[in-house]
Amino acid sequence: YWRPCFLPADNGEGDCGDGVLWGQRVVDQITSNGHYWPDAIGYRNELNPTAENAAQYQRYRATLRAAVYTGIVAYGSFGVGRPDWPEYATIPTDADALELHEYFGRTVAGSPDLALRHVEAIRRGLLPASLPLFIGECGADRCGDGMDGRGWRDKLTPEQMAAQLAIY
């Protein structure tokens, strides 16, 4: 799985203004360095779940397919707690997969646990149980928990992080 972030001329963060252009940048990055095509490729990092981003995902995926990529193109990635319940309606019904960020670290300072929301989304009928799911980020990060550290090593022992990953 490859999450194309921090590419030249577009860091891949947030909403996508042009799915074709973003797709071409991703194709260029893979082919220019002689890299192999990964089994799955992500779309953006922490975009908003909107109809416009869904349309740009479709254009992005079509660009990758035109470059003979046949693997999974995951829609997302969505920051912790996103999509919110009504926003699941913006996920393309033909998405290859979905990528979420689900941090258990939200519970460190007593805030509500937003990890494993995909389980509740499936229970509510907002997300098909058959849709492949990638957890692009998890653990303990800077997720509004009141702690200044960034990354699990600032908050958890290796054993605690391993326990969180085992839950997934």
Q: What pLDDT score was predicted for residue 146?
A: 59
pLDDT tens digits, one per residue of 7-29: 877 888 899 999 999 999 999 98
H runs (alpha helix) in 33-151: 51-66, 117-123
Express each pLDDT in 100-140 by its tens digit.
987 765 544 444 556 777 888 899 999 999 999 998 877 66
In which residue are the tokens 């074709």 written?
20
State the chain's mean pLDDT as an integer: 84
Name the token pair of 112.
């509500």
Return d(Cα 89, Cα 65) in angstroms, integer.
25
The span from the CA of 127 to the CA of 165, in Å, is 22
Helix segments in 8-157, DSSP class H? 19-32, 51-66, 117-123
